[in-house]
């Protein structure tokens, strides 16, 4: 049978950001995947060179809506190295708490999307309902649900009061119980096992070779986490385990994320109990000395990398961002090889893409000379129907 | 077995969603809604306009006056990103955020926080469209 190429994407503004794939198909099996990036290019790095350091902070927050606090944490950690200032210890703990709350919300959101992709919409509703509790908590602490604006160069803007800490502890108790339930669902439910187990396997050697990051590489049994390897904020003082699973399939990546929620809950509890007192911010001059710095942060999706170069003026001379999804794209293409067309949504979702979309699938069957276009939603329905007909492989 | 348990639990439990226009959620104290500026105590230093990341604040002069000291900030809410940096840098702390979050309006007048000397009829005019 001849190899058939199908382009997928790039547009689907509603659910995910644009990315285009060309899949080479041998019948129902994907034998190769070729990505085409750059549809969501917004020129943020260049724009930041025309903004002051304070203004660029809010720009960096808007690179990603879901892991916005990871971006600002990375920005302020890097900028503080350029400015030669250090945030007070209490500010560092508040950064850890907000970052971990953000991780919980990101992972719950992702779990809901994955459940939606496999046709398990009850779980999707459940996780998004529980995510709302985290968003309420973040709104209480920072003043906004998504774009928190809590980090500033030299500290944080808002303090966490004892009443807020009490409320956060209560929410953590509730979430711990719910997350344990989701873990049981992921391990025992036949829907999850049928659709996720042994799908999109990434071997540890491939994961290392292709430089995967975050839960994607930890699902392949490679123990790496920026929070442990290169601690920032107060992560060197807050104890936690790096979660790894050895299977490397989509189910392993799911379990890594669910266990990370449990770890984050424990980290928030520890940080709330052991938060030192004192100031939450220090004064920072408008102009930094000339110099350059890099910063790395473990965002919910993996390692986030920032580079800032200063020439002594009020504006950064160069601002560079490498987001975790970009690092995961080569590994994703490897994972897509050898899977069924019906598994494409699940495998693409398994890296938690920040730019990914399968809006318009143009299917060309060369042997019959037929052409048709699928949207992402139709591809999802096709995958659900295909599994209804074929059952468990 | 667990499915039946979940179904029974959901039959007796109340919906999580609110009937929005009738029922409203209580907003936290730190919520950042519509900006208000206490123009009586504003000294017109212009720091807020310089620091705004979205360039949503312009400094406007009262009619007939050209000097730099009588300028007052004017906020375009359709440009505002509600980051709160202006409130943070304000030396007199006259900028604050209300809990009003329904900011849609039919004209530009409704989406502008303007000093009292800006005439009502002029708010959608050329003066506001620049900056």
Of A68-72, A281-285, B61-65, give the lowest mean pLDDT range.
Answer: B61-65
* Helices assigned H by DSSP within chain A: 44-48, 53-61, 68-83, 89-117, 121-142, 162-188, 190-196, 204-209, 215-218, 226-229, 250-273, 324-336, 344-350, 376-390
A150 to chain B, minimum CA–CA distance in Å? 9
Which pLDDT tens digit goes with each residue over A9-19?
Answer: 666 533 466 77
A143/B31 touch (CB, cutoff 8 Å), yes or no: yes
Cβ-defined contact of B51 to A140 (cutoff 8 Å): no
Give the chain B residue whose CA is nearest to the CA of A123.
Answer: B6
Q: Note whether residue B67 is domain-resident.
A: yes
Distance from CA of A63 to the nearest CA of B (A): 14
Angstrom distances, CA of residue B1 to CA of A127, B4, B8: 21, 6, 11
Q: Are B111 and B76 in contact (CB under 8 A)?
A: yes
Tell me how far CA of residue A130 lies from CA of A88, A118, A258, A377, B40, in angstroms: 32, 20, 13, 25, 45
- Residue A37 clears pLDDT 90, i.e. is over it: no
Q: Residue B64 falls within a domain, yes or no?
A: yes
User: What is d(CA B89, CA B71) in angstroms, rounded to the nearest whole number?
Assistant: 17
Please indicate, yes or no, if residue B95 is contained in any of the structural domains: yes
- Structural domains present in chain A: 4-40+339-390 (no CATH), 44-322 (1.10.645.10)
pLDDT for position A1: 66
Structure tokens at A51: 């903004």
Mean pLDDT of A262-275: 93
Longest dimension (CA), chain B: 79
Residue B8 lies in a domain: no
**What is the C-alpha R_g of chain A?**
22
CB contacts, 8 Å: A149 with chain B? 32, 83-85
User: Could you read off the pLDDT of A88-109 as tens digits, one per residue?
Assistant: 999 999 999 999 999 999 999 9
Residues A50-89: tens digit of each pLDDT: 999 999 999 888 888 888 899 999 999 999 999 999 999 9
Task: State residue B130's pLDDT score.
Answer: 45
- Looking at residue A121, what is its pLDDT? 87
ipTM of the modeled complex: 0.85
For residues A141 and A165, what is the distance between their CA atoms, to the nearest angstrom? 9
Q: Which of B:46-105 have CB within 8 Å of A?
A: 51-54, 81-85, 88, 97
> Token pair 């790395």 is at which residue?
A296
DSSP class of residue B110? G
Both structure tokens of B69 = 């000291």
In a domain, B3, yes or no: no
CATH code at position B38: 3.30.70.3270
User: Would the CB atoms of B88 and A143 count as touching at under 8 Å?
Assistant: no
CB contact under 8 A, A149 and B83: yes
A143 to B30: CB separation less than 8 angstroms, yes or no: yes
Among candidates A56, A129, A149 on the partner chain, residue whose Cβ is nearest the Cβ of B84: A149
The answer to the question of residue B39 being in a domain is yes
Q: Does B18 map to a domain?
A: no
**pLDDT per position as a tens digit, A221-234:** 999 999 999 898 88
B10 CB neighbours in chain A (<8 A) are none
Kindly state the tokens that stand for B47.
């720091």
What local confidence, expressed as pLDDT, does residue A372 receive?
54
Domain-located, residue B42: yes
For residue B26, list chain A residues with Cβ-Cβ distance below 8 A.
none
- A169 within 8 A of A272, measured Cβ to Cβ: yes
pLDDT of amino acid A374: 59
Spatial contact of A146 and A131, defined as CB atoms under 8 Å apart: no
- The predicted pLDDT at position A271 comes to 93
Triad A250, A255, A257: Cα angle to 5°: 100
Q: How many residues does chain A have?
A: 393
Domain limits for position B100: 28-129
List CB contacts (< 8 A) between A139 and chain B: 28, 30-31
pLDDT(A359) > 80: no
Q: Exposure string (b/e) for B98-128, b if CB count within 10 Å is 16 or more?
A: eeeeeeeeeeebebbbbbeebeeeebeeebb
Counted across chains A and B, CB pairs separated by less than 8 A come out at 49
Chain B residues lying within 8 Å of A152, measured CB to CB = 88
């Amino acid at each position: 049978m001849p190899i058939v190429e199908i382009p997928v994407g790039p547009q689907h503004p509603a659910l995910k950001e644009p990315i285009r794939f060309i899949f080479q198909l041998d019948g129902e099996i994907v034998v190769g995947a070729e990505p085409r990036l750059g549809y969501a290019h917004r020129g943020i790095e260049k724009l930041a060179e025309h903004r002051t350091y304070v203004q660029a902070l809010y720009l960096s927050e808007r690179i990603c809506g879901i892991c916005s606090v990871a971006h600002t944490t990375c920005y302020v950690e890097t900028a503080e190295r350029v400015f030669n200032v250090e945030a007070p210890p209490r500010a560092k703990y508040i950064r850890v708490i907000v970052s971990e709350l953000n991780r919980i919300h990101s992972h719950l959101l992702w779990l809901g999307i994955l459940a939606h992709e496999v046709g398990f919409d009850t779980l999707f509703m459940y996780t998004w309902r529980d995510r709302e509790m985290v968003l309420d908590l973040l709104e209480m602490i920072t003043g906004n649900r998504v774009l928190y604006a809590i980090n500033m160069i030299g500290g944080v803007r808002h303090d966490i009061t004892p009443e807020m800490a009490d409320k956060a502890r209560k929410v953590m108790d509730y979430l711990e119980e719910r997350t344990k339930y989701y873990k049981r669902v992921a391990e025992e439910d036949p829907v999850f096992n049928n659709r996720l187990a042994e799908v999109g396997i990434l071997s540890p050697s491939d994961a290392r070779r292709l430089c995967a990051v975050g839960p994607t590489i930890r699902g392949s049994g490679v123990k790496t986490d920026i929070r442990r390897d290169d601690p920032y904020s107060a992560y060197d003082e807050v104890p936690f385990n790096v979660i790894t699973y050895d299977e490397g399939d989509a189910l392993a990546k799911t379990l890594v994320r669910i266990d990370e929620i449990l770890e984050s809950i424990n980290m928030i509890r520890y940080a709330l109990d052991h938060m030192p007192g004192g100031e939450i911010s220090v004064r920072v001059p408008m102009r930094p000395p000339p110099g350059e710095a890099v910063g790395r942060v473990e965002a919910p999706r993996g390692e986030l990398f920032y580079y800032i170069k200063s020439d002594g003026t009020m504006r950064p001379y160069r601002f560079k961002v490498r987001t975790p999804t970009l690092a995961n794209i080569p590994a994703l293409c490897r994972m897509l090889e050898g899977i069924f067309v019906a598994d494409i949504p699940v495998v693409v979702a398994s890296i938690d893409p920040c730019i990914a979309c399968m809006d318009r699938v143009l299917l060309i069957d060369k042997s019959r000379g037929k052409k048709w276009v699928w949207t992402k939603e139709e591809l999802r329905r096709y995958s659900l129907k295909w599994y209804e007909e074929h059952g468990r492989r | 077995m667990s499915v039946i348990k979940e179904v029974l639990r959901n039959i007796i439990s109340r919906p999580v969603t609110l009937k929005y226009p009738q029922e409203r959620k209580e907003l936290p104290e730190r919520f950042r809604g519509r900006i208000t500026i206490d123009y009586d105590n504003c000294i017109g230093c212009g720091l807020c306009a310089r620091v705004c990341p979205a360039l949503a604040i312009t400094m406007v002069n009262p009619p007939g006056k050209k000097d730099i000291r009588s300028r007052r900030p004017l906020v375009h809410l359709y440009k505002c990103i509600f980051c709160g940096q202006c409130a943070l840098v304000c030396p007199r702390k006259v900028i604050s955020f209300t809990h009003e979050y329904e900011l849609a309006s039919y004209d530009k007048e409704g989406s502008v926080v303007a000093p009292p000397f800006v005439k009502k009829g002029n708010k959608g005019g050329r003066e506001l469209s620049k900056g």
